[in-house]
Amino acid sequence: MPTGWRARLARRERWFWAVGLVVVAALALHGALRPAAPAPYTPKQIDAMVRQSLGENPLPSHASHAYEAVRGSVVRVVGLMTEGDEGDDPAPSAPGAVPANGERPAARPGERSVERGVGTGVVIVDNGTILTNLHVVQGARRIKVTFADGHVSDARVINVQPENDLAVLRARSIPDDLEAATMRSTADLLPGDEVIAVGYPFGIGPSVSAGVVSGLKREFNSPDGQQKLSNLIQFDAAANPGNSGGPLVTTDGAVVGIVTAILNPSRSRTFIGIGFAVPIENAAAGAGMPPF
């Protein structure tokens, strides 16, 4: 190879080496300036950070989460009658005791409507179909429901299930964007599962009480001995007169039962820790809905 070519090749090799050294130096400098990756947190540090975060921003309770999911579907149910009818027996009775349209003849001029009793209902279809207890509306001349947004409507009975103390109502008018409750099977419900009862105890509400499922497949005999209910969910969330017909709800916001009775060995009609609900499968069947 001619001497000139050798000289030019040697200079080119030196140039490549110089460029390579500059690149290596730049990469080394970049690595030195880049902040080191943080050391991984220990389990103890992670636990402390989670506790601090929950302390500053606590999660909502299971009960409040369940209530938020169902509250738009809970209604106040009032059975009305005229003065002088107060002696009517409010207990559930045989099929047909409530007229097909859910109403007795209208009050005559000058007669005043009074509340027969206050109960609770839950919307199961967004066309205004409501589940409640039969004993809440039994014998009423007129039924009035108040929805979660304050909308008030008359309602009529479209079906009854006396053997389960259930009545299915249909509101004559409904609010915009009416919410129907989510229902779920009780097949996987277990004693100890958390539940809430939502309703209008003594007319106050909507009120929420929390507890657990105490037992399944229970039986209940009415104090007068005229009614026997079976296959009930026993629960210990507080329920009182006015809770009747309201939903029993799991922590995920799904309705698993309709509150129907409380057990008190004394003559007092107040809660001492034992309540009963009709499983939603029975209640939905009364509304003509397919089984879960």
State the catalytic residues: 135, 165, 244
C-beta separation of 162 from 93 below 8 A: yes
Beta pairing partners, 53: none
Structure tokens at 168: 């299915």
Quote the CA–CA distance of 6 and 17 in Å, as a whole number.
17
Q: Where are the alpha helices (DSSP H) in 80-181?
A: 134-137
Residue 236: name the closest of 255, 211, 207, 263 by CA. Answer: 211
- Count of beta carbons in the 10 Å neighbourhood of residue 184: 17
Q: Do residues 158 and 170 lie in contact, with contact meaning Cβ atoms separated by under 8 Å?
A: yes
Residue that is written with structure tokens 């009709």 in the block: 278
DSSP H/E element including 168 = strand 166-171
Distances (CA, A) of 126 to 182, 202, 248, 253: 11, 27, 19, 17
CB atoms within 10 A of CB 87: 5
